[in-house]
Amino acid sequence: MTSYFRPAATLLLLMTLLTGGLYPALVTLLAQSIFPAQANGSLIQDKQGQAIGSALIGQSFSQARYFWGRPSATAPYPYNAAASGGSNLGPTNPALSDAVAQRIQALQQLDPDNHAQVPVDLVTASASGLDPHISIAAAHYQIKRVAKARKLPESVVIALVESHSEPRQWRVFGEPRVNVLGLNLALDAAAQTAQP
Amino acid sequence: MNETGFLQIFIYLLALLLLSKPLGAYMARVYQDESIVANTWFAVIERGLYRLCGIQAEQDMRWQQYAGALLVFNLLGLLVVYALQTCQDLLPLNPQALPAISTDSALNTAISFATNTNWQGYAGEASMSYLTQMLGLTVQNFLSAASGMAVLVALIRGFSRRNTNSIGNFWVDMTRSTLYILLPLSLLLAVVLVGQGVVQTFDRYATVKLQEPQTYSAPALDADGHAVLDAQGQPLTQTQQSQEQTLALGPAASQIAIKQLGTNGGGFFNANSAHPYENPTPLSNFLEMLAILLIPAALCHTFGFLVGDSRQGWTLLAAMTLVFVALIFVTVPAEQHGNPALTSLGVDQAASNQQPGGNMEGKEARLGIVNSALWAVATTAASNGSVNAMHDSFTPIGGMIPMWLIQLGEVIFGGVGSGLYGMLVFALVAVFIAGLMIGRTPEYLGKKIEAFEMQMAAVIILIPPLLVLGGTALAVMTEAGKASILNPGAHGFSEVLYALSSAGNNNGSAFAGLSANVPFYNYLLGLAMLVSRYGLMIPVLAIAGSLAAKKHVPVGPGTLPTHTPLFAVLLIITVLMVGALTFVPALALGPIVEQLHMHAHP
């Protein structure tokens, strides 16, 4: 066994330098020069240059005037982007049904006239707890509430939802979706231009 | 399941099968030391490595020497990962000032990454410094994968060589796997993934201003940082407000590329490939999913080339693909069907062009049902174990299939190297059974399969079920084992069974509700990972040595052809029979009873 020690130790050291040092450094160099925005987290900045979110990471919304994203199971508060994770509740766990029932109640409380069935992604926790998207159906479910809370014509909100809807990538991959933070920022921007 | 769903699955399978052949041919050239683009560039590096390490590249090893080199190399790697974790607070590249990892967790993680399991008891962004992720975890992502490939190549030499006691040189096989196969593919994939949005930076975590401040309750802390207790001894909570969101970053893309290509599966972040910074778009999802099965599928062709009969490789690939496709069409519909408990609450789970519908708990909106379920089947067919959805929240049948794929011994594609050497052992069993039926000495690829090979094959096939079922029994009989369960009832048993299946077959995925970062599970699962990796590798090398020493038997009228559809079916039956007979009783207590319960009491 001892005769293997020298080649094993030296090879491990050199391979560590190669695959653990040189390789990540090279990827970082390439990433930072070709795709700097993506490599640093796809951050969104406001007019003053302050970072106000990431295009890839959701934020929690609970006011009637904003579109709500997926429920998030991160601790200690939802959408904690320093501690990602799902609820891990099993399908037959009563805690899951209770949580979903509460979320439906919260939605209906602010939108009592809406008797449509609730799209499933709007009341179930995402895997990462940071899901930036909801389905098109989940956005449509909330249009009336948002328009009413903002005293905006529904057509304006519908147009914004449509302009923020992403189709399947290359028309094939994934699911059609709406970026919630992007949509809400656009709503705020529309409100600012409407009030000169 | 709609047309787009079928189309996505079809494109995935097509891309996988089309790419596997050229890559398989390339890898065969790498192991035969023929001239290829990469080794004309990097031959200087390769020779330099050997000179510095005092390795005689042309000196072949007997199987015992090969196993010795592998064990020493893997043990040293394990110790480095352990050391890096336990003193990361003293080392550089720790911008979040994360503390050192506890002994039991560090040991579990070190074993996990050295054995190509990548079971993760810890949460990446909250525990591991950038230096630990790079120098410890990324390195083992490469080297554990390369070790698996080396053992496979040694076994193939057992078939292709004759009348010799040497099966190749471990140092050379390991170095070539890393230098010419894993590194170039990883570099390419990493850069493409960054283009889709995967982060790659050494900067500290970013802070952004929230649009809607968060109010939450957190445990009240005194001046020393200890929890304040009330009169009943319960921790007091206080309401806090947060105006900011902290975004965990890091050198993620470089690690994610090799985590998929090397069937490792250990995420940079806790949510693994569900995290938008690890898997931001449907295209990144497609590429990562392709990377999971690419090398295991291509190695079937490499095998065909190296034994001089490409039909042998096709037969194994066909057997794997058939089982894989069949199980995709169990899991996807199960998840698409949704959860009856939510239907009665007024939730719309029907798929349409406006929503994926189905069981969306623990799944991401951009990926939907089809891509989450397809990934779950791919990651457990291979011993990858990365997840883009939370398996614990799958429907009972949707979650049972990934668990059963692990329990089959990780031979449906399986890990890089380890999947195919496992499948070749099943092929030996299949020809042995066929030999018994027709009363002839079994042969495979011109080598007589005799008592020694069958003894080793029996050891290889029996070790994982022993670890899985024995470990599960131990866990559910002890308080320490039961205390970590999250979900009540049969699902709680499934969590434990899944954890032991995952560790006992070096997969690494989890029903993650189980709180596994406790000493009981860290040690139990660590032991299971260690025994199942090396307890299988050593007998495989012994078979390689025994086969290499045999003479070649020419094909006769009594030889069972092993390149036919008939043999592929025989092989599938062998794998499924062993898997079904061993695990159906345990599965009946977990997912099967839960499925009945779910539909009886919606």
User: Would you place residue B579 in the very low, low, confident or very high pLDDT band (cuts 50, 70, 90)?
Assistant: confident
Mean pLDDT confidence for B512-519: 95
Which tokens sit at B48? 């330099």
Mean pLDDT confidence for A53-64: 96
* Cross-chain CB nearest to B365 (options A14, A140, A177): A177
Which tokens sit at A102? 């509460």
What is the amino acid identity at position B84?
L
Mean pLDDT confidence for B481-497: 96
* Cross-chain CB nearest to A14 (options B49, B218, B352): B49
Residues in chain B: 602
Q: Do B341 and B318 meet the contact criterion of CB atoms below 8 Å apart?
A: no
pLDDT, tens digit, 9 for 90 and up, residues B15-47? 999 999 999 999 999 999 877 776 677 888 899
CB contact under 8 A, B356 and A54: no
Q: Do A156 and A77 meet the contact criterion of CB atoms below 8 Å apart?
A: no
Say which residue the tokens 């470990």 belong to.
B471
pLDDT of B463 higher than 90: yes
Please state, in angstroms and as integers, the Cα–Cα distance from residue B315 to each residue in B300, B382, B557, following that order.
9, 18, 21
State the pLDDT at residue B225. 66
Which tokens sit at B121? 């008891």
Return the closest-CA partner of residue B377 out of B366, B367, B388, B365: B388
Q: In chain A, which residue ranges form alpha helices assigned H by DSSP?
A: 2-15, 23-34, 36-39, 94-109, 136-150, 154-163, 180-194
Stretch among A93-102, B29-38, B89-98, B576-585 having the lowest mean pLDDT: B29-38
pLDDT, tens digit, 9 for 90 and up, residues A72-118? 999 889 999 999 999 999 999 999 999 999 999 999 999 999 999 99
Buried/exposed code over B559-594 (b: 16+ C-beta within 10 A; e: otherwise): bbebbeeebbebbbebbeebbeebbeebbeebbbbb
Return the closest-CA partner of residue B50 out of B179, B173, B171: B171
Distance CA B354, CA B365 (A): 11
- CA B472 to chain A, closest CA, distance in angstroms equals 19
CB-CB neighbors (< 8 A) of A174 in chain B: 281-283, 285, 366-368, 371
Return the closest-CA partner of residue B248 out of A47, A56, A153, A21: A56
Distance CA B28, CA A51 (A): 50
**What interface predicted TM-score (ipTM) does this complex get?**
0.96
Return the closest-CA partner of residue B37 out of B189, B181, B168, B146: B181
CB contact under 8 A, A26 and B368: no
Q: In A71-153, which residue ranges form alpha helices assigned H by DSSP?
A: 94-109, 136-150
What is the amino acid identity at position B481?
G
State the pLDDT at residue B602. 58
Say which residue the tokens 């304040």 belong to.
B228
State the pLDDT at residue B198. 98
Q: Residues near A98 by Cβ (< 8 Å), separated by ≥ 6?
A: none
Distance CA B130, CA B448 (A): 51
DSSP characters over B288-299:
HHHHHHHHHHHH
pLDDT of B540 higher than 70: yes
CB-CB neighbors (< 8 A) of A30 in chain B: 191, 194
Instruction: Find how far residue B84's CA is from the centre of its chain.
Output: 23
Give the three-state DSSP class for B87.
coil
Give the three-state DSSP class for B345.
coil
pLDDT, tens digit, 9 for 90 and up, residues B247-279? 999 999 999 999 999 999 999 999 999 999 999
CB contact under 8 A, B194 and A131: no
State the pLDDT at residue B229. 75
Distance CA B218, CA B332 (A): 39
pLDDT of B1 higher than 60: yes
- CA A160 to chain B, closest CA, distance in angstroms equals 16
User: Would you place residue A194 in the very low, low, confident or very high pLDDT band (cuts 50, 70, 90)?
Assistant: low
The phi, psi pair for B400, rounded to 5°, reads -70, -40
- CA B189 to chain A, closest CA, distance in angstroms equals 10
Return the closest-CA partner of residue B512 out of B270, B287, B207: B270
Please report the number of interchain residue pairs, chain A to chain B, with beta-carbon separation below 8 angstroms: 402
State the pLDDT at residue A90. 96
Whether the model clears a pTM of 0.90, i.e. scores above it, the answer is: yes
DSSP characters over B92-150:
SS-TT-PPPPPHHHHHHHHHHHHTT----SS-HHHH--HHIIIIIIIHHHHHHHHHHHH
User: Would you place residue A196 in the very low, low, confident or very high pLDDT band (cuts 50, 70, 90)?
Assistant: very low
pLDDT of B227 higher than 80: no
User: Would you place residue A1 in the very low, low, confident or very high pLDDT band (cuts 50, 70, 90)?
Assistant: low
Which tokens sit at B136? 């410890």
State the pLDDT at residue B559. 87
Q: In B202-309, which residue ranges form alpha helices assigned H by DSSP?
A: 253-261, 282-306
pLDDT, tens digit, 9 for 90 and up, residues B431-446? 999 998 888 889 999 9
Distance CA B286, CA B162 (A): 42
Average pLDDT, whole number, for chain B? 94
Return the closest-CA partner of residue B352 out of A78, A117, A6: A117
pLDDT, tens digit, 9 for 90 and up, residues B385-426? 999 999 999 999 999 999 999 999 999 999 999 999 999 999
pLDDT of B543 higher than 70: yes
Distance CA A39, CA B585 (A): 48
* Cross-chain CB nearest to B201 (options A5, A39, A55): A39
pLDDT, tens digit, 9 for 90 and up, residues B316-375? 999 999 999 999 999 999 999 999 999 999 999 999 999 999 999 999 999 999 999 999
* Cross-chain CB nearest to A41 (options B247, B362, B388): B247
What is the amino acid identity at position B92?
P
CB contact under 8 A, A41 and B368: no
Q: Which of residues 423-452 of B touch A (CB under 8 A)?
A: none
Q: Residues near A22 by Cβ (< 8 Å), separated by ≥ 6?
A: none
| Residues of chain B above pLDDT 90, percent | 88
pLDDT, tens digit, 9 for 90 and up, residues B128-169? 999 999 999 999 999 999 999 999 999 999 999 999 999 999
pLDDT, tens digit, 9 for 90 and up, residues B374-386? 999 999 999 999 9
CB contact under 8 A, A9 and B174: no
Q: Which residue of B has its CA nearest to A4?
A: B69
